[in-house]
């Protein structure tokens, strides 16, 4: 029996990735209805791969499918954030604990290099680049944990958190606070103190939620 050929990436997967990036970039805003007709024309595709792509995004929590109404970019409420962040704190805290126990010198050196980048971006108030490096810092710790199940759940939740319209690092004082928290996490990992690394990471994630809450209050005060 001749071996079957490996198929190229399915069209709907490419469509899903394009829509995913547009959602993350807030080109498609939370709550907005996805215009299927416009997208089929824009991408030069039929409705079938588009609808398959929307099913993928719905499974990730990025869009909500409503019978007879279509697909809508998911809106994240304050209650959603209050439920997600403690879960994230628990999961990422566990990652930090496992990563500390398994950390190799070259992995710690990589974290130190990333932290130096964070220091430079914070000093220059380059929030976008700080955010990207921050994501890499967390991802490296997840990799160091060696626990693929933790990584998968965390990455799925982080996708959902990208839907929020507020950016915690833009809240006054949060950039420096975040930098200091990363320094504490790094020091705990370097010291081999797994329990402290877990606590520092847990508290770091919850501090991000507190910053978003402050941002919501400040935004409401400006409007009023």
pLDDT tens digits in sequence order for the chain, 224 residues long: 455 543 445 888 999 999 999 998 889 988 999 999 999 999 999 999 999 999 999 999 899 999 989 999 998 888 999 999 999 999 999 999 999 999 999 999 999 999 999 999 999 999 889 989 999 999 999 999 999 999 999 998 988 888 875 567 777 788 999 999 999 999 999 999 999 999 999 999 999 999 888 766 655 555 45
Bridge partners for 72 per DSSP: 33, 64
In sign, the C-alpha dihedral spanning 118, 123, 128, 129 is negative
Q: Where does CATH 1.20.120.530 sit in the chain?
A: 78-216
CA distance readout (Å), 116 to 87, 110, 193: 28, 10, 21
pLDDT value of residue 106: 97
pLDDT value of residue 167: 65
The structure tokens listed for 38 are 């416009």
The CATH code of the domain at 11-73 is 1.10.10.10
pLDDT value of residue 42: 93
The structure tokens listed for 148 are 């693929």
pLDDT value of residue 191: 97
Q: Where does CATH 1.10.10.10 sit in the chain?
A: 11-73
Which CATH superfamily includes the segment(s) 78-216? GntR ligand-binding domain-like (1.20.120.530)
pLDDT value of residue 128: 86
* Residue linked to tokens 């402050």: 214
**C-alpha–C-alpha distance, residues 149 and 112, integer Å:** 25
**C-alpha–C-alpha distance, residues 216 and 213, integer Å:** 5
């Amino acid at each position: 029996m001749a071996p079957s050929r490996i198929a190229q990436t399915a069209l709907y997967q490419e469509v899903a990735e394009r829509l995913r990036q547009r959602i993350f970039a807030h080109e498609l805003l939370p709550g907005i209805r996805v215009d299927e007709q416009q997208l089929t024309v824009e991408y030069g595709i039929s409705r079938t791969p588009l609808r398959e792509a929307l099913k993928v995004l719905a499974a990730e929590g990025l869009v909500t499918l409503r019978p007879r109404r279509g697909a809508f970019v998911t809106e994240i409420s304050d209650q959603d954030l209050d439920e997600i962040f403690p879960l994230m704190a628990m999961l990422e805290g566990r990652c930090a604990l496992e990563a500390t126990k398994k950390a190799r010198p070259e992995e710690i050196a990589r974290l130190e290099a990333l932290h130096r980048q964070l220091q430079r971006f914070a000093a220059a108030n380059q929030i976008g680049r700080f955010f990207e490096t921050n994501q890499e810092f967390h991802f490296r710790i997840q990799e160091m944990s060696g626990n693929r199940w933790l990584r998968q759940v965390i990455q799925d939740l982080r996708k959902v958190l990208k839907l929020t319209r507020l950016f915690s690092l833009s809240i006054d004082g949060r950039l420096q606070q975040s930098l200091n928290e990363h320094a504490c996490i790094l020091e705990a990992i370097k010291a081999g103190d797994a329990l402290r690394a877990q606590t520092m990471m847990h508290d770091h994630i919850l501090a991000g939620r507190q910053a978003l809450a402050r941002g919501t209050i400040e935004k409401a005060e400006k409007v009023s």
